[in-house]
Amino acid sequence: MEQVDQQMPPLTKLTEDEKMLRDASRDFAESVIKPKVEEMDQQAKLDPDLVQEFFDMGLMGVEVPEKYSGGGGSFFMSILSIEQISRVDASAGVFMDVQNTLVNNAFLNFGSEDVKQRYLPQLATEKVGAYCLSEAGSGSDAFALKTTAKEEGDHYVLNGSKMWITNANEADIFLVFATINPEAGYKGITAFVVERDFEGFSVSKKENKLGIRASSTCEVLLEDCKVPKENVLGEVGKGYKVAIETLNEGRIGIGAQMIGIAQGALDATLEYTKEREQFGKSISEFQGVQFQLAKMATDIETARLLVYNAARMKENGENFLKEAAMAKYHSSEVAERVSSQAVDLFGGYGYVKEYPVEKYFRDSKIGKIYEGTSNMQLNTIAKLILK
């Protein structure tokens, strides 16, 4: 990798710390996660031992400052790690992604010092977090949410339900969005930190999904759930700001997951085409196959450049909204296209679970749906370029 890194443009040239985390994440994915992937996919459950190993590796608090027991790394380092984990298993990739780019970042950007002191050390070392925004009737229209928060003395009482909550089975700390004034629209939305053992809180139905099956996706119920006032994240009535800004960063994380999926599918295909023989030679020697491989590699590199660029811009304090939308939109298109082509090149073997590419194909589909559909990304991009 040294030679490749030296040839990269400044945008993608990595520091020594970034290289170290990238390589450590790759080794962890290959040696620890890979042997568990098939069983986790079949059982639709993340291995509990693997959860602890993510914490032991320091991958659940990459960007959390050392004073809060985190790794003291950068946003870009999180992106590199998510990519490498997703190259082996997208379920493990999104497990780490939600923790770092959504939950931890929300606490870092909007939490009071008291909230940071109480929760960031837990999130960095032992407790999984979940991000609870979507509801049955509010997907792309996220701020049409119906979950309410009523002030009562020294606490709020939350009522409602949340859908499609990633990491819900494993999580102990939940960032929940509710409205204190439904008539105020988005200006009534407030973010709350809810612990799993709070009275009135429960995790309900786990979804049976097409892809990223080991990643838990559940409904969350709030039935007269009491939340202390000091557990408001950010300002009362400013939860929309927490949601929007955090999701902008999260979309870059999904972009990293998607290029990981695409790279994993290409890696498997390159190996297979060199081994598979037809008409007396490996199919990688046929020009038609070579052209498909070349297109796949080119697609992945364009997606990687978009994701890395958005991450660098975020890290440098620049306005990255358009670039994050482009990165998520394009990388999800690429992941689906590349993994589909991988299935084609594997032929009949690509359609069976004994070989890895059918899983990459299934896992890729979610990229065009969660944390903002492809149509919503296109809407954002169009508005910004037409300004």
- Tell me: do 53 and 147 sit in the same domain: no
CATH number of the domain bearing residue 53: 1.10.540.10
Q: Which residues contact 382 (CB under 8 A, 6 or more apart)?
A: none
Q: Which residues pair with 191 in a beta bridge?
A: 177, 233
Q: Which of 204, 237, 270 is the last residue of a domain?
A: 237
pLDDT beyond 80 at 320: yes
* Antiparallel, parallel or unpaired: β 281-282 and 171-179: unpaired
Top pLDDT among 387 and 35 is at: 35
Same-domain status, 361 and 259: yes
Task: Output the domain CATH number for residue 152.
Answer: 2.40.110.10
d(CA 232, CA 178): 11
Same domain for 247 and 370?
yes
Residue 9 has pLDDT above 50, yes or no: no
Mean pLDDT (whole number) for 336-349: 98
Domain that holds residue 199: 130-237
Instruction: Give me the pLDDT at residue 179, please.
Output: 97
User: Do residues 309 and 365 both lie within one domain?
Assistant: yes
Which pLDDT score, from 0 to 100, does residue 8 have?
41
Q: Is 4 a residue whose pLDDT tops 50?
A: no
Residue 360 parent element (H or E): helix 357-364
Query: Is 207 an annotated catalytic residue?
Result: no
Task: Count other C-beta atoms under 10 Å from residue 359's C-beta.
Answer: 24
Regarding whether 98 and 214 lie in a shared domain, the answer is no
What is the mean predicted confidence (pLDDT) over 376-380? Answer: 98
Domain check: are 211 and 259 in the same one?
A: no
Number of domains in the chain: 3
Mean pLDDT of 50-65: 98
What is each CA distance from 82 to 62, 70, 253, 261, 349, in whole angstroms?
Answer: 11, 17, 7, 10, 28
pTM: 0.95
Same domain (yes/no): 30, 109: yes
Kindly state the average pLDDT of the residues 3-18: 64
Q: Which DSSP state fits 347?
A: G
pLDDT at 2: 41
- Whether 229 and 246 map to the same domain: the answer is no
- Say what the pLDDT of residue 15 is: 94
Same domain assignment for residues 134 and 124: no
Give the whole-angstrom CA distance, residue 301 versus residue 285.
23
What's the chain's average pLDDT?
A: 95
Instruction: Say what the pLDDT of residue 144 is.
Output: 87
pLDDT per residue over 234-274, tens digit each? 999 999 999 999 999 999 999 999 999 999 999 999 999 99
What pLDDT was estimated at residue 140? 86
Residue (of 154, 188, 151, 158) closest to 174 by Cα position: 158
At residue 13 the predicted structure's pLDDT band, cuts being 50, 70 and 90, is confident
Reported as a single tens digit per residue, the pLDDT across 86-121 is 999 999 999 999 999 999 999 999 999 999 999 999
Which one of 187, 222, 237 terminates a domain? Answer: 237
Q: What is the mean pLDDT of residues 45-71?
A: 98
